[in-house]
Chains A and B, each alone.
Chain A
Amino acid sequence: MTATRPDGGLLRAAVLGVVALGLVLPIVAGLWQTARAGAGVMPAIGATAASLEPLRALVALPGFGTALWLTLVTGLTATALSLLLAVATCAALHGRLPARAAGRMLTPYLAAPHAAMAIGLAFLLAPSGWIARALAPLVGWDRPPMIATVNDPAGVALILGLMVKEVPFLLLVILSALSQLPVRQHLAAGRSLGYGRGIVWIKVIMPQVWPLIRLPVMVVLAYSLSVVDMALILGPSNPPTLSVLLLRLFQSPEIGLLLPASAGALVQALLVVAAFGLLWGLERAGRALGRWWVRRGGRGLSAEPGLWAATAVSAVLFAAGALAMLSLLVWSLAWRWPWPAIAPESWSLRAWSSPGGGWAGALGNTLILAAATTAISLTLAIAWLEGEDRARRGRAGWAEALIYLPLLVPQIGFLFGLNVLFLRMGLSGGYLAVIWAQALFVFPYVMIALSDPWRARDPRLDRAAAALGAGPWRRLFTVKLPVLLTPILTAVAIGIAVSVAQYLPTLFMGAGRIATLTTEAVTLSSASDRRVTGVYATLQAALPFAAYAAAFLIPALVWRNRRGLVA
C-alpha cells in the first residue's frame, strides 16, 4: 500500500504559518485588546477593574441610540437595495449584454475608491451641486434650494453612496456566479413552461446563485455597517453613524473615552454578527416560503416591468457615479466655479502644478504601500495555491472562511487593539505597520480574485509539463504563471485598488505620519478647497484605473500572437 507522496509539505506549512501569524493572529489579538478595553481593562491608562461602566458611558453618550439606529438603517438598506438592484439588473440584462463587455463596464466603478466616489457624489448631490445647478435655470432657483441632499439626518445620501459602489460589485459577483450555471437552458426551460423572465430568475436561477454569492453579500453587509470614510463625507453628522462616532471617540483628547469607544467597537462587531444572523434567518425563511411559492406555480408574467424599473434605477446610479468621478476631474482643473454656473468660470492648472507641495508625497506613499501590500499578498496567494497543487488538494472550507475573516470583522473593532499591540512592539507609525494592516485586507481580495482562475486552469498543462520532466518550480514559473498572466494581473489590479482605498488602517497604523492619497483626500474633503481635493481624489481613482487598464492591456500585448490565451 502506498499513499500518494505528501508533496510540498514545507511550502504549505510556511503558508499556513504566515497566514496564522500574519493574518489571523493580529485580528484575534486586536479584537482581544479591544474587548479588554471595552470591558474596562486597560492598565496603561490605569483602568484595571472589569466592569460594564464603559458600555454604560457609551450608551449615555448623546445621540448613541440614534447613531446605532442610523447604522442599522443605512447598512441594511444599502445592502438590501444593492442586492435587489443587482439581481434585477442581471435578470433583465443577462444574455442581452455580453459578459465581457459588462465586466469591462463595471471595472471603473470597482476601481474607484469609496472616498473618491463619496467626495464626487457630495458635490454632485449637494443643494449647490451639479444636479441643482443644472436644474436652477429651469426651476428658477437663484439660491441653492433648502433641501438636505447630503449629510441628511436620515442617511439617504450615505445609502446612495454605498449603492453606487456596491451594486457594481454585486453585479460582478453575480455575473461570475452565473458563468458557472447553465442559465440559458434553465431560462429557456422555465419560459417554455409559461413563466415570466423575472419569475424564472427568482424561482430557478437565484436559489442556485445564492450559495455562490452569500459570502460576498456578507462582505457588503459588514462593510456597509462599519464604513468610515464614506460615512464621514456623505453621512449624517449629528449624530453620525456608529463607526464615525467611534472614530471621534478614539481620536478624542479625553483619554477616558478610549474605554467606551472600545465598548462601541464591540457593539459594532455584535451588530455585524446580528446582521449575519438576520441574513441567515431570512435565508431560512426565504427557502421555506420559496418552496411554498414554487409549488403554487404562479407564472408572474407581470414581473418584467419591475425588472426594467430596477435596471433604470441601476442606470441612474451608474450615471451618478460617472458624473461624480467626472466632477472631481473638473474641479481639479477649475479656478472659480461659483453657484449657479454649470461649468467653471475660469480654469487653472494651479492645483496640479505644485506636486512638491503635497500630492507627490502622498502619491509616492500610496504607490509604495500598494506595491508592497500587493506583492506580499500575491506571493502569499500564489504560495497558498501552489501548495494546494503540490499536495494535490482542492480548496478547504476552513481556509476559505479564514480568508474572508478580515472582510467580515468590522475594521475599527480590531484596528484599535492592534495599534496598541503594534505600539508595544514599536511598530506603529512606520511603513511596516501600515503595510501589515493593509495586507490584512488586500490579501483576501487578491486570493479570492486569483483562486478561481487558478483552480479552473487546465490541469493537464501541469501534467504534460511534469511528464516532460519539468520539476515543480519549473512548472510554476514556465507554465502556470505565464498561462495565468491575465488573472494574476487582474488580482494585482484588485490588490492595488484595495490598498489605495484603505483609510482606517492607514490612519490608525500610520500614526498620521504616512499620508496617502486616501487619507489626504478624506482630510481635504473637510477643507475649503474642492480644487485640491479634486486633485487627490482624481489621483486616488486614477491609480486603480491605471492598474486595471494595465491588467487588460499587458496580456493583450504580451499574448498578441497567442490566441489560446487572449480569447
Chain B
Amino acid sequence: MRLISAASLIVALSAAPALADWQATLDAARGQIVYWNAWGGDERTNAFIDWVGEQTAERYGVSVEHVRLSDTAEAVTRVISERAAGQDSGGSVDLVWINGPNFLAMKEQGLLFGPFVDGLPNARFVDLSPGAAAAMDFTVPVDGMESPWRLAKFVFVHDSARVDAPPRSMAGFVDWAAANQGRFTHPDPSNFMGATFLKQALVELAPDRAALLQPATDDSFAEQTAPLWAWYDALRPNMWRGGEALPANQSVQQQLLNDGEVDIAMSFDPASTAAAIAEGLLPETARVFVPEGGTIGNVSFVAIPFNAANAAGAQVVANFLLDPAVQARMQNIEVLGSFSVLDPARLDDAGRAAFAALPSAPALPTLEDLGPTLPEPHASWMTRLTAEWARRYTR
C-alpha cells in the first residue's frame, strides 16, 4: 500500500507539476457550466460550439452555455462593467472568443485570467515558440493569456458565374469597381472584418511594411496610411450605395452576395465559402480568391476573464478545443471547415490520420491557392484606422 502511494507520488512528481495541477483543474471543473461568450452570427460555428459542450459534458462533466454575441466587444464591456461594480469573482463571462484589439484591451486593463495556456495538456500540439502565429495576436505577445482554437486567413469571395476576372491586387479594386459600379462593398470598419479589409489594403499599399509591426505613432500613421486614403477615395464613389452605407459585418455582406446585390464578399475563413454553399447560403458557383501578394492571417483565441465564475471549466473547454480529433473535426468542411491551429509536425500518427481523412469540396481552396500569409499589423493600427476612417467618412 505504502509502496504504491510512494510510486504514484514519484510518478506524479516526475510527470511535471502541471499534470497534477491539471487533474486538480479537472476535478474543480466537474459540474461547472461554462458561459462561453462567442460571436453567434454563424450557425455552423454555433452548432460546433454546441457539439463541444455536449462532448465536454460527457467527458468531463463540464457543460457549455453559448452566449451569442453580435460583437465580441459586448463581452468585454460586460467584464468591464462587472469590475466597475466591484464584482471581482463570480463574473458572468467564463470564456470569450477573442483576438486583436479586444484582447489587447482586456490584457492591458488586467481583465484576463492566466497565464493558463502552458498548463493545458493539449498545448503540446501547438507551436508556441516566440514569434509563432499562435504565440502572437496582432503582434501582441499572447503570454499564455489566451488559447488558440481556429486559424483565420483573410480571403475574398466572388460568384464565378457573374464575375470572371476578380481584382488581382488591392490596388486593382479601384479599376474593378469603376468598371462594375455599385457591385463592391466591405463591412463597416467598426466591425472586425471591415477593419481587416482596410488593414489588408494598408499592408499592400504602405510605403514601409515593417513600420506596421511597431505601435503606430501620429507620424508613422500619417505617413503609412496616406496612400491608403488616396486609394479609398478613388474606390469609394464606385462602391455599393456610393459607399454611404455599408453592411454591418461579413455575414450581411455574404447575404448581399447571395442576393445578387454585390459581386464580392470577404471572409476570415477560407473554408467558409464551401461551407456556405453546402448550407445553401451561397450559389454553387461561389469561389474564393486572394490578391497575388497574399493576405493577412491570424489566430482566433479563447480567453478567460479575471473574475470568471467557472475558470476551471473554461480551461477544460480551451484544452478540449486543442485536441487533435476536435481540431480535425473543426477543419472538416462538412462540420465547420475552419483551419486548424495545430502544428502538423507535432501531431502523432492518429492526429495526422484524422486530418488526412478530411473530405474536400470544389469551393475549398488548397493551401497553395491561398498564397502567403501576411502578418497582422500591430493592434494600434487597427484602432487608429477605424477611428480615422470614421472621422473621414462619417457625415
Contacts and interface: CB of A to CB of B under 8 A. Distances in A.
Most chain B CB within a 10 A radius of its CB, from A520, A523, A526, A531: A526
Contact of A45 (B47, B50, B84, B255): B84
A526 B252 contact: yes
Nearest to A148: B241
A44 B85 CA distance: 6
Contact of B101 (A63, A143, A253, A522): A253
A451 interface: no
A125 to B, nearest CB: 13
Contacts of A357: 43, 46-47, 50
A532 interface: yes
A480 B37 CA distance: 49
B244 interface: yes
B241 A512 contact: no
B394 A144 contact: no
A237 B42 contact: no
Interface string B82-117: 111111000011000000011001100100000000
B190 interface: yes
Contact of A520 (B68, B76, B80): B68
A153 B76 contact: no
B245 A238 contact: yes
Interface stretch (A244-252, A269-277, A378-386): A244-252
Name the interface size band of chain B: 35 or more
Contacts of B258: 338, 528
B360 interface: no
A79 interface: no
B182 interface: yes
A253 B77 contact: yes
A428 B92 contact: yes
B6 to A, nearest CB: 47
Contact of A237 (B65, B78, B248, B280): B248
Given A45-B84, A62-B390, A251 B74 contact: yes
A420 B77 CA distance: 12
Given A144-B260, A424-B85, A512-B75, A237 B245 contact: yes
B73 interface: yes
B393 A252 contact: no
Contact of A528 (B42, B101, B105, B182): B42
A522 B279 CA distance: 21
Contacts of B248: 237, 526
A126 B93 CA distance: 37
Contacts of A193: none
Contacts of B71: 251
B265 to A, nearest CB: 9
Interface in B254-279: 254-256, 258-261, 276, 279
A357 B87 CA distance: 32
Given A253-B101, A336-B280, A511 B78 contact: yes
A528 B252 contact: yes
> Chain A contact residues: over half helix, strand or loop, or mixed?
loop
Nearest to B103: A253
B188 interface: yes
Most B CB contacts (10 A, CB to CB) among A152, A253, A255, A423 go to A253
A323 B290 CA distance: 40
A513 B84 contact: no
Contact of A254 (B105, B260, B390): B105
Contact of B246 (A237, A252, A346, A348): A237
Contact of A511 (B84, B92, B245, B390): B92
Given A237-B248, A423-B85, A253 B41 contact: no
A30 B158 CA distance: 49
Interface string B189-209: 010000000000000000000
B217 interface: no
A128 interface: yes
Closest CB pairs A-B (n = 9): A44-B84, A423-B85, A128-B259, A63-B394, A339-B260, A528-B251, A527-B41, A253-B76, A62-B394
Interface of B: 35, 37, 40-43, 46-47, 50, 65, 67-71, 73-78, 80-87, 92-93, 101-102, 105-106, 109, 181-183, 188, 190, 240-241, 244-246, 248-252, 254-256, 258-261, 276, 279-281, 283, 390-391, 393-395
Interface of A: 42, 44-45, 62-63, 66, 126-128, 143-144, 146, 148, 151-153, 236-239, 248, 250-255, 258, 335-336, 338-340, 346, 348, 354, 356-358, 419-420, 423-424, 426, 428-429, 511-513, 515, 520, 522-524, 526-532
21 contacts: A44-B86, A144-B261, A146-B240, A152-B245, A153-B244, A255-B80, A255-B109, A258-B81, A339-B259, A339-B261, A346-B280, A348-B280, A354-B47, A423-B85, A423-B87, A428-B92, A429-B92, A511-B92, A523-B40, A528-B42, A528-B258
